[in-house]
Structure formats: structure tokens, C-alpha cells
Amino acid sequence: MIDINRLTYGRTSVYNLNYHLIWGTKYRNKVLKGHVETVLKRTLYEIASK
């Protein structure tokens, strides 16, 4: 069931956007590097601390 409070209303549309991140362990190549890695880690730690 969709939470009505989480719907976003545009001029001609209504949407609910979600992300699902999966950390795979089979291939451990460095994909996220440099600034992208730093920003993503900081953001995920902030969300996890809430």
C-alpha cells in the first residue's frame, strides 16, 4: 500500500520514487571511487543514524 503522505505531485503527474540498494559480495571491484564514494558513505551513515 502506498503512503499518501509520500506521494509527490507534479503539474501533470503523481509519483512515489524509491531506491533499493544491493551490495553484492561476489565481485568486490572498486566501483565507487573518489568524491562519489565519500559523499555516498556520508549520506548512508547519516540515514542509518536516524
Domain contains 44 = yes
Q: Which residue has the cell 540515514?
A: 47
Total number of domains constituting the chain: 1
Domain holding 46, by residue range, is 22-50
What is the distance between the alpha carbons of residues 30 and 36, in angstroms, rounded to a whole number? 12
Domain contains 14 = no
pLDDT score for 3: 65
pLDDT score for 1: 54
pLDDT tens for 3-32 read 667 788 889 999 888 888 777 766 666 777
In this structure, the chain runs to a length of 50
Q: Which residue has the cell 571491484?
A: 29
- Residue pair 32/40 in contact (Cβ under 8 Å)? The answer is yes
